[in-house]
Structure 1
Amino acid sequence: MTDWFIVGKLVNTHGVRGEVRVISSTDFAEDRYAVGTELMIQHEGKNEKTLVTVRTHRKHKNFDLLQFEGYHNINEVEVFKGATLYVSGEQLEELDEHEYYYHEIIGCTVVTEDEETLGTIKEIIETGANDVWVVKREGGGKDILLPYIEQVIKDIDVDNKRIIVDVMDGLME
């Protein structure tokens, strides 16, 4: 059975020619939305799945705009609004050492070198210089923003969903 991984959320249509507006949550948007890539669309809580093939992809503001083969007008894609977009695990490529997919990092428990549990990674923000990992604190409170740099991230164990960090002064305030 194939594993499917979330790559984005279909938030709206765009124009009248069947484009959809996607808020991406993928680390390799150019690869995920390449022409000819097969994706799956599913509404949360529903069993119905729709397989689609990317016909076109372009960036527009903070969105990825996609058009699928066989869908040529707004009426045909209107039903996809609010759905989640997935990619097959079979389409994921092997990464180099010390490179990770977002789905491997999100959900990991973050602990300090002194074994203090800080929380769980809930989101990854791309900033340009380096990614920032958003940690939801274990006891509640304001999220912790950890830059993905070697001075902070000391060890990543995706098999055990555990990340060891060195919290530099000012990161927890």
Structure 2
Amino acid sequence: MQKNLLEIGKVVNIHGLRGDVKIQPWCDSAGFLCEFDTLYRADGTPMSVVSARAHKGMAVVRFAGIDTPEQAEALRNTVLYMNRADVELDADTYFIRDLIGLQVLDADTGAVYGRLEEVLETGANDVYTIRTPEGKQLLFPAIGDVVVETDLEQGIMRIRPLEGLFDDAD
């Protein structure tokens, strides 16, 4: 089941004297985090963004009603969330949260490789980690030559491993 609110970052410090906060992004970039008009607390309370900018890998954000360093300090260590409805993803782009737990099947034979348990962000392309029913860990690149289909509704991912990719898994 998909959650509507997804973690996007954490308030790590205050910035300046006007109540701005620094947010460590837990998303693609600080710039992406700065695109939202509203962020949310864990309990679903909306926080209106007055201004936001990327600065040295962090997002510097001013929220409505937070006007002093003391008010900003009270937000330290607050995990912030975004509403998935506020983002339109490109085709074949998914939230990592939605991929975790998918059953991974062979696209040709239907054989079960296991469940996707982790997404490693390597720079060139992501690498997916599967845990087999026997408890072994398998890794494969998240590239079009390998990932044939991702069906979030059915909870499955079909792959066609490159030759030799899982040979040493036996």
Same topology, TM > 0.5: yes
Structure 2 CA distance for partners of 1:146 and 1:74, relative to 1, 3 Å: farther
- Residue identity in the other structure for 2:104: V
Which protein shows a greater Rg?
2
The equivalent of 1:50 in structure 2 is: 45
Q: Give, in whole Å, the separation in 1 of the partners of 2:141 and 2:72.
A: 37
The equivalent of 1:155 in structure 2 is: 149
Q: What is the CA-CA distance between 1:59 and the residue it aligns to?
A: 4.1
- The C-alpha deviation readout for 1:4-47, integer Å capped at 9, x for no partner, is 3314231511434431222323x576454226x111012xxxxx
Which moved further from structure 2: 114-123 or 151-160? 114-123
Q: Give, in whole Å, the separation in 1 of the partners of 2:77 and 2:94.
A: 27
Q: Give, in whole Å, the separation in 1 of the partners of 2:8 and 2:135.
A: 27
The equivalent of 1:60 in structure 2 is: 56
> Structure 2: where are the runs of 5+ without partners?
none
- The C-alpha deviation readout for 1:133-161, integer Å capped at 9, x for no partner, is 4325245455x443221111111111112
Q: Give, in whole Å, the separation in 2 of the partners of 1:40 and 1:106.
A: 23
- Residue identity in the other structure for 1:13: N
The equivalent of 2:35 in structure 1 is: 34
> Structure 1: where are the runs of 5+ without partners?
43-47
The equivalent of 1:24 in structure 2 is: 26
Residue correspondences, number: 159
Identity of aligned residues (%): 17
TM-score, structure 2 normalization: 0.70
* Secondary structure in structure 1 of the residue aligned to 2:74: helix
1:4-153 aligned within 5 A: 4-10=4-10, 12-17=12-17, 18-25=20-27, 27=28, 30-34=31-35, 37-42=37-42, 48-54=43-49, 55-61=51-57, 63-93=58-88, 95-113=89-107, 114=109, 115-123=111-119, 125=121, 127=123, 129-130=124-125, 132-138=126-132, 139-140=134-135, 142=137, 144-153=138-147
Q: Give, in whole Å, the separation in 1 of the partners of 2:104 and 2:75.
A: 35
Q: Give, in whole Å, the separation in 1 of the partners of 2:26 and 2:82.
A: 12
Contact 2:106 2:113 in 1 (8 A): yes
Q: Give, in whole Å, the separation in 2 of the partners of 1:29 and 1:109.
A: 31
How large is the RMSD of aligned CA atoms in angstroms?
A: 3.1
- Residue identity in the other structure for 2:113: T
